[in-house]
Amino acid sequence: MYKLDDTVFNDNAGGTKSVLVVDDDEAIRLLIRNILEPDYIVVEAVDAAHALEYINDSDFDVILIDHHLGGRDGLDLLIELREDRKVDSVIIFMTSDTSRDLTAQAFRENADDFIGKPINRRLFKYAVQDALLKKDLERQLREAISNAKIEESKTLLIAMASHELHTPLIPMIGLSSALYKRNEDGTLSKDALSDGLLRIAEAARDLNDMIGDILEVASMNKNDILMRMEHTDIRALIERLQRDYRNVALDKGLYLFVTMPEGPQTLFIDGKRLQQVLRLIIDNAIKFTEFGDVEIGLKLEAEDVVLFVRDTGAGIAAEFQERLFKVFEKIDMKSGRSPGLGVGLYLCRRIVEMLGGTIEAESIPGRGSTFSIRLPKTPEYNAES
C-alpha cells in the first residue's frame, strides 16, 4: 500500500502503476491525467518542493518532470533525484525546448526519456509505456546477473544483450525522435530527412548483425564469441565512427578528430567486433569529457597496428585503473553512480583478445585518458604511407 495525504494507492490492485506529474501548469497536469487514467494512478505536484515531499512518502513507478517549474529548473530536480536521492523510478523529462543541447543534457543526467511540448495525446501514453517496459527489463536483467547460479556463458550473453544492443539503439531513437519533431514544426528539409534515414538504416543494420551474433552465442555450449574474419578497411571504419559521433561531440562543445597515416589501412579482422569496441570507448570518452577534444587515431609500429582513443576528460584514479577491464566493475567519474552493468570494458577486453590483440588504458586524473588497442599485423596487412 502507498499512502499519500488523502490518496491511497493499492499497489496490488491489478498491478496499477503510479505516476507523479511535476508541472506548474494546471492545464498540462489535467491533460496528462486525462491521458493516463484509469490505467495509471496519477498524483500531481505543482513544484519541486511538493514533488520531493511526495517522493519522501511514496515510491512512484514514473515521474514526469517539466523543464520550467517556476522557482526551480526541472534539470536541477532531475539531478537531485538521480544523484543525491538515488531514485530508481522511470523519469521522463518534459519541455517545449526540444533543442539537441537540452535533450543531450537530460539524457546525460539519466533521464529515461524526453517528451516535447505541446504533448501529443497519441504518442504520450506510448512513451510512458515504453519507458516502463525498458526499466522493467533492466531490473530483470540486474536480478538475473546477480544470481550466482548463472553460468559464465549465460552471464556474458546477458551482458552483451543489455550493453551492446543499446549502442545502435541510441542513434535510432534519437534520430527518429528528432525527425518527427522537426517534421511536426515544419523545419525538416529533404536533405536532413535523407541523412537521418540513412543513419537510422545503418544503426538498424548494426543492431540486426548483433542480434544474429548473440543468437549464435546462445547456441554454443562455451562462452566464446564467434569471429568473422575478413579484409577490413580500417580507414573507412574510423571515418564512419567520426561521422556517427561528430554531432554527439558538438552537442557538448567538444572537438572530435582523427589522426592516421595516409593511404589504405587494411586488416584481416572481424571489423564489426572491432567497431563494437571502438564505439564503446568513444562513447565513454565523450561522456566523461566536459571540455577539450577527443581523438580517434591509428599508428603503425614494426609488428603491430595500434588504434587509440584519447580524451581530455576527467581521467581515472590509479586505484581504479587495475580493475578497469574486469566484469561488473562500474566506475562513473562524473557522479559516482553507475547506471550501467559494468560489462562494457570487460567485453572490450574479451573481444580484443579474441582478435589476437591487447587493450590497455593510460590515464591521469584531471587530464584525460588514452585507450589503446594493439593488434598484430598479418601477412594480409596493407598500408601505404
Q: What CA–CA distance (Å, rounded) separates 353 from 321?
A: 18
The pLDDT, as a whole number, for residue 378 is: 67
Residue at a domain's end among 177, 195, 224? 224
pTM score, whole prediction: 0.47
Same domain, 7 and 140: yes
Higher pLDDT, 14 or 77: 77
Which among 162, 157, 66 has a CA at the least distance from the CA of 111?
66
Higher pLDDT, 251 or 185: 251
Residue at a domain's end among 110, 126, 145? 145
Element spanning 45, H or E: strand 40-45
Give residue 190's domain range: 150-224
Confidence of residue 251 (pLDDT cuts 50, 70, 90): confident
CATH (domain of 198): 1.10.287
The yes-or-no verdict on residue 192 having pLDDT over 80 is no
Residue at a domain's end among 119, 145, 171? 145
Q: DSSP for 219-263?
A: T-SS-------EEEEHHHHHHHHHHHHHHHHHHTT-EEEEE--SS
Tell me the H-state helices in the chain: 26-36, 48-57, 74-79, 100-108, 121-146, 152-159, 166-184, 190-218, 234-251, 271-287, 318-321, 344-354
Same domain, 216 and 271: no
Query: CB burial class (10 A; 0-12, 13-18, 19+) of residue 181?
Result: middle
Same domain, 239 and 378: yes
Same domain, 296 and 218: no
Please state, as a whole number, how many other Cβ atoms lie within 10 Å of the Cβ of residue 249. 19
Please tell me the total count of domains within the chain: 3
Please count the residues of the chain: 385
* Cβ atoms of residues 119 and 179 within 8 Å: no
Same domain, 243 and 366: yes
Same domain, 238 and 377: yes
Same domain, 47 and 120: yes
Query: CB burial class (10 A; 0-12, 13-18, 19+) of residue 202?
Result: middle
Cα 336 to Cα 82, 86, 326: the distances in Å are 11, 11, 18
Q: What CA–CA distance (Å, rounded) separates 316 from 192?
A: 38
The pLDDT, as a whole number, for residue 157 is: 55
Higher pLDDT, 15 or 325: 325
Same domain, 272 and 361: yes
Cell of 65: 518532470
Confidence of residue 144 (pLDDT cuts 50, 70, 90): low
pLDDT by residue (tens digit) across 145-161? 555 444 554 555 555 56
- Is the backbone peptide bond immediately before 38 cis, with ω within 30 degrees of 0? yes
Same domain, 379 and 245: yes
Cell of 62: 514514473
What SS3 state is found at 303?
coil
Phi, psi of 331 (to 5 degrees): -125, 115
Beta carbons within 8 Å of 201's beta carbon, 6+ residues apart: none
pLDDT by residue (tens digit) across 57-111? 888 999 999 998 877 888 999 999 988 888 889 999 998 887 777 877 888 888 8
* Cβ atoms of residues 365 and 315 within 8 Å: yes
Same domain, 62 and 170: no
∠364-367-373 over CA atoms, to 5°? 60
Mean pLDDT of 362-373: 91
The yes-or-no verdict on residue 23 having pLDDT over 90 is yes
Same domain, 265 and 341: yes
Same domain, 133 and 165: no
CATH (domain of 256): 3.30.565.10
Confidence of residue 337 (pLDDT cuts 50, 70, 90): very low
Output DSSP code: residue 88. -
CATH (domain of 80): 3.40.50.2300
